[in-house]
Amino acid sequence: MIPFFRKIRKKMADDNRPIKYVRYALGEIVLVVIGILIALQINNWNEDRKLNNIGRAILKEIKLNLIESEQKLTMGIQIQEKQILHYESILEYINNDLPYSPVLDSAFSQINRWYAPYLTYTSYETLKVQGLNIIANDSIRRGITEMYETNFTYLIKDYDQAEWLRAESITFPFFEKNVRRSLTDDFLARPNDFETLKKNDEFINILHSNIGMRRIGVSSFTEVIQEIKALILMIDRELKLKE
């Protein structure tokens, strides 16, 4: 009887062998799948970390560019405020019918000049190449886009372009006809005939218009500076969160 039972056990073992193979194979497949999923997760994590690092680097560069632009606009405000004082000093001489004084030489040199806002776009161009979505913070992304596409665009394409058009059609021609710039100092100029200019409505209109345009410039620059400061503050907070 013992050989008989041995044969039965051997037959049962042989019959269970395919099931064991299937279980083993399924186990191997599950392990492979789990390994692949883990590898993909690690890869995604590494890619996300890489993108975050790129985003942080770009944010730091944008912050530096914004600081540089803020400094340029601040200087522009100072220059325009000084120009307004120059124009007002000429008007004071005209309104009080005073004789010409050499102290007005610096004022006359500014009649056909204005401050053009040359702003820094380098980091924003890099961001557009990388893709705006690399900046994860929606508020910062919108703020950056608004700053460059709206605020900076207005200063360069609207305000500055208006100054150019006005200068080319009005102040440049008038200056060439009526004012002589110093050969030794570009910031000194003197009218050919101040007494005649005092009675020239076109000249007086130019002075009033210059004052109006410079005040628009000061106001516009000031508003954009406030927007820059607010955006820099947002960027600083974002960078600290990810340190």
Q: Is residue 4 part of a domain?
A: no
Cα–Cα distance for residue pair 70/75, rounded to 1 Å: 9
User: Between these two residues, 242 and 212, which has the higher pLDDT value?
Assistant: 212
> Which has the higher per-residue pLDDT, 20 or 53?
53
Query: Which residue type sits at 11?
Result: K
60 vs 98: CA distance, rounded Å: 55
Q: Is 204 a member of any domain?
A: yes
pLDDT reading at 7 higher than 80: no
Rounded Cα distance between 225 and 243, Å, is 27
**Would you say residue 46 has pLDDT above 90?**
no
pLDDT in tens, 124-141: 998 888 888 888 899 999
Q: Is residue 18 part of a domain?
A: no
- Asked whether residue 194 is domain-assigned, the answer is yes
Structural domain tally of the chain?
1
- Domain presence at residue 76: yes
In a domain, 222, yes or no: yes
Q: Specify if 1 maps to a domain.
A: no
Determine the structural domain holding residue 69 and report its residue range: 54-241
Mean pLDDT of 179-200: 96
Please check whether residue 20 lies inside any domain of the structure. Answer: no
* 167, 112 contact by CB (below 8 A): yes
